[in-house]
Amino acid sequence: MRVLVVEDYRPLRASLVQWLEEDGYAVDATGDGAEGLWYADRAPSPYDVIILDRMLPGLDGLEVLRRLRAAGCAVPVLILTARDAVADRVEGLDAGADDYLVKPFAMAELRSRLRALVRRSYGRAAPVIAVGPLRIDPAARVAAIGEHDLALTAGEYRLLEYLAQRAGEVLSRRDIAEHLYDDEAEVASNVVDVYVGYLRRKLAAAGAPPLIHTRRGHGYVLGVFE
């Protein structure tokens, strides 16, 4: 397993490299965003995970992430940050982050996040999912209503795909947060509510009937119901 660490705080970067190598990962590390892009572009084989600090000097972590995604890089990215507000999480996830870990953190938690990211990454190849007029192609990461492709952020797409995979099943906010963000914190549940609102508006604008339903006191369910 290969990991790229982009973290400008030297003591933390050194600790991450040591911990990951002790766990058997092959690690490249840098404290510079531009150099991180260089590693990601020129690595002899793709990384399995990228650990990316949000607050990098010069080219910050979110800009690095946006450039990675714009270049077609689909490697799972775990953002490290000291900023824990809902708006910060939404911004990071919309930029294309797969998970968000707040400093300070325990190595046991980082290990768990990395394992989950790798599992999700290797499980992405799947047949097209259809729920009423909604079609989702997990391989292409595209969702559509009929012939109309939906313009979704990375976070919106992940939520919609997960709901569609479990269509007809009521999922609690905690279930969704744990799957999408590997985080049981209440703030992650608030992020789920934010994304549900975004998705409902975009689905309605595309002409879809109501697809994401609230089950008060229980959570959300995706489906076409009479």
Q: What is the pLDDT of residues 158-176, one digit of tens each?
A: 889 899 989 999 999 888 8
pLDDT in tens, 35-84: 999 998 887 667 889 999 999 988 999 999 999 988 888 889 999 988 87
- Do 96 and 63 belong together in one domain? yes
- Between helices 10-22 and 107-122, what is the axis angle to 10°? 60
- Do 37 and 14 belong together in one domain? yes
Taking a C-beta distance cutoff of 8 angstroms, is the pair 51, 16 a contact? yes
- Do 94 and 138 belong together in one domain? no
- Do 172 and 216 belong together in one domain? yes
- Do 12 and 40 belong together in one domain? yes
Predicted local confidence at residue 126, as pLDDT? 59
- Do 177 and 155 belong together in one domain? yes
Q: Residue 123: is its pLDDT beyond 90?
A: no
Domain limit, last residue, from 122, 137, 167? 122
Predicted local confidence at residue 187, as pLDDT? 45
Question: Which residues, in sequence order, are CB contacts of 218 under 8 Å at separation 6+?
Answer: 170, 172
Domain limit, last residue, from 87, 122, 157? 122
Q: Residue 109: is its pLDDT beyond 80?
A: yes
Output 139 or 199, whichever has higher pLDDT: 199
The number of distinct structural domains making up the chain is 2
Phi, psi (deg, nearest 5) at residue 155: -65, -40
Predicted local confidence at residue 153, as pLDDT? 81
- Between helices 186-205 and 154-165, what is the axis angle to 10°? 90
Phi, psi (deg, nearest 5) at residue 57: -70, 150
Predicted local confidence at residue 127, as pLDDT? 77
Q: Which of 142-146, 192-196, 200-204 has the highest mean pLDDT?
A: 200-204
Query: Using CA atoms, how far apart are residues 50 and 28, in angstroms rounded to an integer?
Result: 10
- Do 74 and 39 belong together in one domain? yes
Query: Where do the H-state alpha helices sit in the chain?
Result: 10-22, 33-42, 61-70, 86-94, 107-122, 154-165, 173-181, 186-205
pTM: 0.60
pLDDT in tens, 208-225: 999 999 998 899 999 987
3-class DSSP assignment, residue 9: coil
Across the chain, what does the average pLDDT equal?
A: 86
Query: What is Dmax (Cα atoms) for the chain?
Result: 58
**Identity of residue 191:** V
The single-letter DSSP state of residue 218 is T
Residues of the domain holding 212: 129-222
Domain limit, last residue, from 75, 101, 122? 122
Predicted local confidence at residue 91, as pLDDT? 86
Q: Residue 184: is its pLDDT beyond 50?
A: no
- Do 135 and 210 belong together in one domain? yes
- Do 21 and 109 belong together in one domain? yes
Which CATH number do you get for residue 183?
Answer: 1.10.10.10
Which CATH number do you get for residue 110?
Answer: 3.40.50.2300
3-class DSSP assignment, residue 177: helix
Predicted local confidence at residue 90, as pLDDT? 84
Question: Which residues, in sequence order, are CB contacts of 135 under 8 Å at separation 6+?
Answer: 128, 129, 143, 144, 145
- Do 153 and 88 belong together in one domain? no
Q: Which of 18-27, 32-41, 136-145 has the highest mean pLDDT?
A: 32-41
- Do 56 and 139 belong together in one domain? no
3-class DSSP assignment, residue 205: helix
- Do 80 and 160 belong together in one domain? no
